[in-house]
Amino acid sequence: MKKKRAGKPVPKETDERVRRSKETVLAATYELLTEAGLGGVSVDAVSARSGVAKTTIYRHWPSRSALVLDACSQLGSKREAPNTGSLKGDVTVLVTDLARRLRTARWAGVLPSIIDAAERDPELAELHSRLHAGLMGAFNLAVEQARKRGELPRTQDTSHLLAALVGPLFYRRWFSREALDERFVQSIIESAVAKLKP
């Protein structure tokens, strides 16, 4: 039925209306997510907030999970590795930055609800791992660079190192709810990196 121009194999989403609808909806979803958590995101609420009809939302996303998933895709923004020349330098930059984001970023308040949902909803479990990968990507890159510089043996398992670096941050942010101050960050980095050197 539909004939397509030869040189235009997939005119994917050329429709302006679709683009605009999706954008509006995703923005509203993200807003609701950060304001009221995962539980606050209902298709009805998103529709009311965005002004986009429920029908339209269901036209583009099959389920609430899918919508949330999509709205969070912007979250896992890959960080660049800083490349200060030494592993400790890189790590300091990264951990400091992560601490700052855990203090301020709005998604920080939502992560637990996503983690919780991931325990049950496989669709959201995938989101969880994507977010995790996004957050940790820069760390892995820094480690890779350190390997190239010879700071780290090729074979060493660095997952312990990573856990030692970010685990305490997460712990403080959500469990003990103590401050993520400069001294704490420094202390953690010392502990984690100390073991590597000798």
Binding site for DNA (CB under 7 A): 1-5, 8, 11, 14-18, 20-22, 42-45, 51-56, 58-60, 62-64
Answer with the entry of DNA, its own copies, none that 20 interacts with (C-beta below 5 to 8 A by kind).
Answer: DNA
Residue 116 near which of DNA, its own copies, none (CB within 5-8 Å, type-dependent): its own copies
Out of its own copies, DNA, none, what residue 136 binds, judged by CB under 5 to 8 A for its kind, is: its own copies
Q: Quote the CA–CA distance of 17 and 23 in Å, as a whole number.
A: 10
Determine which residue in the list 39, 62, 85, 89 makes contact with its own copies, applying CB under 8 A: 39
Q: Which amino acid is at 63?
A: S
Rounded CA separation 47/174 (Å): 31
| Between 67 and 110, CB nearer to its own copies | 110
Which residues have CB under 8 Å from 194's CB, separation 6+? Answer: none
Decide whether 50 or 158 has the Cβ nearer to DNA. 50
Q: What is the C-alpha to C-alpha distance for residues 115 and 121, in angstroms, rounded to an integer? A: 10
Residue whose CB is less far from DNA, 54 or 103: 54
Q: Which of 112, 66, 99 is nearest to 178 (CA)?
A: 99
Q: Closer CB to DNA, residue 58 or residue 170?
A: 58
Closest CA relative to residue 50, chosen from 75, 73, 71? 71
| CA atoms within 13 Å, Cβ hemisphere of 128 | 16
Residues in contact with its own copies by the rule CB under 8 A: 36-39, 109-110, 112-113, 115-116, 119-120, 129, 132, 136, 159-160, 162-164, 166-172, 174-178, 184, 187-188, 190-192, 194-195
